[in-house]
Amino acid sequence: MRRLLKLGAAFFGGLLWALPAQAQYPDHTIKLVVPFPPGGGVDLVARLVGQGLSEALGQPVIIENKPGGGTLMGTDYVAKSAPDGYTLVLASFAHAVNPSLQAKMPYDTARAFQPIGLIGRSYNVLVTSPKSKLKTVDDILKASKEKPGSLTYASQGIGTSAHLAGELFKNLGGVDIVHVPYRGVAQALQDVLGEQVDMMWPTSAAATALINGGQFHAVASTAPAGKSPLPGVSTIAEQGLPGYVVDGWYGVYAPAGTPRDIAMKLNATLNAVVQKAEFQRRVEPEGLIVTPGAPEAFDAFVQGEVVRWNKIVVENKITMN
C-alpha cells in the first residue's frame, strides 16, 4: 500500500509539474510575422494587433517584416517554425490566391497552419476618372460589348485583389477588358486619373480619400449586395452582376500542430482585441470591417476563397509571367 501511494504521488506530482508549463502560456516574447515590407495598412493592422495581444497576454509581441516571393517567404518561415504559439503570421488575400498562382509552393496551404482567427474584411471599389463617360457598371458592360478589348483596367500587380477583381468582372459580365499591371498602386491610379487606363479596382484604403476629394468617380463597391461601406455607392452585385464579391481580409495563423488550448487562448484574445472601440476606430480609414469568430469559421472562409480564386485563375489562364 505504501508503495502504491508513493507511485500515485509521483504520478500526480508529475501531472502537476507538467500542467503549469501549458497553463503559463505565454511566458516569453511572441513574434508576429508580416510577409510584406514595412509601411502601409498591413503594418498598421499588425502593430495594433500586436499591441493589443501584448497588453492582454502580458508578454511582448514583436512585429517582424519578412517580405519576398509574393508573401511566400515570411509565410513559409512561420509554417516551418515550432508549433508552440510563439510564432504567428498575419495573412491576407495573397494567402488564398498563391496556391493557384505560384508554380511551386514551399508549403501546403491547407495543412501547414493552425488558424487562429479572422481580424476583418475590406472591399475594393471600382473607380474611373471624373471625366470618363463610364459612370456605372452598365456603362462599362455596354461599352465593352460594343468594342470587345477596347477598355482597360489597371492594377498594382498580377494576382492582387485589384487584378482579380477585374478578372471576376470579366467572367460574370461576359466581357473582354484588358489588364494593365503596374509595379505599384500610385502610378496605376495616376494613369486612371489621366485616362491612360479606363478604370481600376483599388482597395477602399487607397481610394476613399481620393473619391471624397473628387479626384475619382466611384462606380461601385465590391462588397456583397446591400453591404457597401461607402455612403451613396452601391455594389457591383446590385448594379447587374449578382454574386459579385471581392474580399480583402486579414487573419492570424500559427504553425500546424499548435496545441488546441493555446490556439483557443490566442483566438479569444484576438477577438477581444479587435472588438475594442479604439482598434476599430484606428482601422476604419483602412476600410477594414472587424469580423471576429472561431478558428474553424476563419479556416472555412479561407478555404472557400482558395477554391473561388482558383476557378478564376484557371479559367482565365492567369500566370505570374
For 131-152, what is the mean pLDDT? 98
b/e string for 81-94 if b means 16 or more Cβ within 10 A?
A: bebebbbbbbbbbb
| 150 vs 1, more confident | 150
For 85-125, the pLDDT digits (tens) are 999 999 999 999 999 999 899 999 999 999 999 999 999 99
- 157 closest CA partner among 181, 186, 128: 181
Domains defined for the chain, CATH in brackets: 28-121+247-315 (3.40.190.150), 125-221 (3.40.190.10)
b/e string for 256-274 if b means 16 or more Cβ within 10 A?
A: eebeeebbebbbebbbebb
The Cα–Cα gap between 164 and 152 comes to: 14
Collapsed DSSP state (helix, strand, coil) of residue 87: strand
Mean pLDDT of the chain: 92
pTM for this one? 0.90
How sure is the predictor about 23, in pLDDT bands with cuts at 50, 70 and 90? Answer: low
For 74-79, what is the mean pLDDT? 98
The Cα–Cα gap between 95 and 18 comes to: 36
For 169-186, the pLDDT digits (tens) are 999 999 999 999 999 899
> Locate cell 500586436: which residue?
50
Which residues sit opposite 127 in a β-bridge? 200, 218
